[in-house]
Every structure is written in structure tokens, then in C-alpha cells.
Amino acid sequence: MKQLSKELQSFILSENQYSDFDPLSSGELSFNSSKTPVSDYCAYALKHCNAGTAVKAAYELKDFLNSGGKIFLSIAGALSSFQVGKVLAELIRKDKIHGISATGANFEESFYRYVAHSHYKYIPNYTDLTPNQEAELRDAGYRRITDTFLPEEQSVKIIEPLLNKYWKEATKNNQSFLPHEYMFRLFEEGVIKPDPTSNPLHCWAYAAWQKGIQVVVPGWEDSTVGNIFAAYSYDKKEEISSSVVKSGVSYMHSMYDWYKKSSEKPGIAFLQLGGGIAGDFPICVVPSLKHDLYLDNVMDWASFTEISSSPMSFGSYSGAGGKEKITWDKLSTKSSYSIIQSDATIVFPLIAAILLEI
């Protein structure tokens, strides 16, 4: 058999090496005496392809946290409507997540779950709906997000007048705040109450507010509340100035400040759920500090882990992968990267279980 090059040999693991995380690499399947049965089961059963990549990435993130590192998380899609807060809020409380970038929809939907949890409805067979049935749902006020209906009357319409009041006050006082700062006032002033069937501990925005971690909401205008604000401030018809909400530039400024302060060795790992602006915006802080502010000794992101179902094609950021980010100076050649081609609603809870030592 022809001898492989040393470079290629370095990529190949023996079965023993491949079982490093496996608590039961040999023996019967039993976790009765384990203190971390979910983590141990993942390490035992999820060995190959995307499953194996997910477990490997989770244990690397766990080791990174134990060494004093931090994790910055980006969440795209509608994960907050899909109750990502159940695990994300606990990760925040346990100091496993130190900063978050969320789409405007994800951020506001965390609040909607907080105030209107019992009013959500579901349609598991959503792929069978016809266009006419979708229109019927629309006319009845059902706002579908995949298999979930957002209860607009009990959520958006509850929060909207409260924010309207804040925006008017800021206009009158010539003040300006970031979008999430207005939303956090709802918690600070206690003007919203959790739905009787919801658990405040499941609201990641509530946990982020309590912990005071870094939060950015890039592209906030592309959200229900963002659209409402745009309408209210159009020609100042509601006595609201568009200047009372700071722009994405201010969010990048806050990322400059946070990253410079927080990126001490061993650094900050980037964990991305889905693609789009939620991930692309904050990861750009590193090259911007280097090439736009001309700062020296800027630490690269320590690692990049993405859970995405987007294919790599036609300049799609969501499917670009880790290597491409090296050319943009977002990652270095020493930054590790993992792409898990799968559904974040499945994979992220498993990674969270390992980080939480469950």
C-alpha cells in the first residue's frame, strides 16, 4: 500500500483516537450511574458526519469555556418562536454565553413568548397547506412561522403602545437609544407580565437583561416592531422622530467597545445558529478593528462553529463556511472551525446539554 503524505496522515484518526469523548467506547449501553447522562449518550451515539461534528464542537467549546474563554452566539430564523429560550436562557444564567446577536424578529419574539405563551398555536402538517388555506389563515389573523402561529393580538398589540410611549418621550426629550434598550425598559419598569403558562426562566431576552451581557440586533428595521416604528416615524405622523432609535452603526460601535474589552486570552469563540445578518454583522468586528480602525494586536475569533442547512453557493454568507472567512480576516489560519449541516432546533439543544453538563 502506498504511503500517505504526512499532511494527509495528520487528518486521519484511529478508532481509539476517534473515541476520545466516548464514555462507553466498549461495554453495554447504560448511563444509570452517570452524572451527565445526556452528554454521555451524545458522545456514545453521535459519532459520525454532522452528529459527530456537533459533539466534537460541543466538547471543544466546553473545554474552551473551562480554560477561561467566552462564547458569542448569533441566532437567526425564528428560533425564539421555536422556544430556543428554554436552553439559551439557562446558558446565559450559567455564564456559558457572553454576548448575543439576534435578528430583530428573534429578539422581539422572545418577548412575545414571555407575554403570550398560552396563545400560541401549532400546525404540524404545515407543508400540506394550500395557498387558499394560507390566505384563510391570514384573514383570520393567524401569522404562521413554519409550524407555529404567532398570536399578534396578545403579543405585538400589547407591546406596541408601550414602545410608542417610550418613542414619544424620547422625541420630546431629544434622546436616542438602541432598539433593544427600549425593549429592555419593559423589564426594567415591570410594565409587562409573563403569560400565566409561561416560565420567565425560558425567556432568553429576560436572562440577557438580568446578566447585562452584550446584545446587538442588526437589521432591526426588518422586524415587526421595526416596521411599526418606521410607520410611526414616517413624516412624524405620531409625533415620533426616526432619530430616537440608533442605527446599526451604533451597534457596531458597541461591538468595538465590547470586543476590545472582552477579547483577552484565550479569546472569544463564535457560535452561529443559522445564517444571515445575525452572524455576518458581529463577526465583522474583528476585520473592522484591524483594517478600518487600524488597531494593532486585535485577537482573531478563537473559533467558529455554525449550524446551518444552507448550501455553499453563489456568495451565500449562510453557507460560506469557515475557510472563506480567513480571506476576509475574520478568522486566522489558527482559528478552528466547524460546519454542522443540520437543523439548529435539533443540534443546538444537544450542544447546550454538553455545555451545561447534563
Question: How does DSSP assign 206-232, residue by residue?
Answer: HHHHHHT-EEE-TTTTSSHHHHHHHHH
In a domain, 207, yes or no: yes
User: 11 lies in a domain?
Assistant: no
Contact 354, 58 (CB under 8 A): yes
> Residues 167-185: what's their mean pLDDT?
97
Model confidence at 288: pLDDT above 70? yes
Q: What is the mean pLDDT of residues 237-247?
A: 91
3-state secondary structure 163-175: HHHHHHHHHHCCC
Decide if 194 contacts 200 (C-beta within 8 A).
yes
**Burial readout 243-279 (b: 16 or more C-beta within 10 A, e: otherwise):** ebbbebeebbebbbebbeeebeeebbbbbbbbbbbbb
Q: Per mean pLDDT, which range of 116-130, 185-199, 233-247 is the poorest?
A: 233-247
Question: Which pLDDT score is estimated for 15?
Answer: 66
User: In this structure, what C-alpha cell is assigned to residue 255?
Assistant: 461591538
d(CA 101, CA 259): 13
Average pLDDT, the chain: 92
pLDDT beyond 80 at 317:
no
Answer yes or no: is 23 within a domain: no
CA angle 192, 198, 199 (to 5 degrees): 95
Domain assignment of residue 260, given as a range: 37-355
Tell me if 6 is assigned to some domain.
no
Model confidence over 53-72: pLDDT tens digits? 999 999 999 999 999 999 99
Query: How many structural domains compose the chain?
Result: 1
C-alpha distances out from residue 301 to 21, 97, 146, 149, Å: 25, 15, 33, 37
Residue 237: is its pLDDT beyond 70?
A: no
CA distance 308 to 275: 7
Residue 22 lies in a domain: no
**pLDDT of amino acid 242:** 95
Torsion of CA 18, 24, 29, 30, to 10 degrees: -150
Quote the Cα angle for 82-282-186, to 5°.
55
Q: For residue 17, is it within any domain?
A: no
Whole-number CA gyration radius for the chain:
22
Q: What are 65-108's pLDDT values in tens digits? A: 999 999 999 999 899 999 999 999 999 999 999 999 999 999 99
Mean pLDDT throughout 225-233? Answer: 96
Measured distance CA(218)–CA(321) in Å, rounded = 21
184 domain-assigned: yes
Strand partners, 101: 74, 216
Range among 32-46, 215-229, 307-321 with highest mean pLDDT value: 215-229
Q: Which CATH number goes with the domain that contains 193?
A: 3.40.910.10
All three cell numbers of 138: 391570514
Split at pLDDT 50, 70, 90, the class of 335 is confident
- In-domain check, residue 210: yes
At 315, which amino acid appears? G
Q: What is the pLDDT confidence band of residue 6, given thresholds at 50, 70 and 90?
A: confident
pLDDT in tens, 179-198: 999 999 999 999 999 999 99
Residue 192, classified by CB atoms within 10 Å of its CB into exposed (0-12), middle (13-18) or buried (19+), is middle
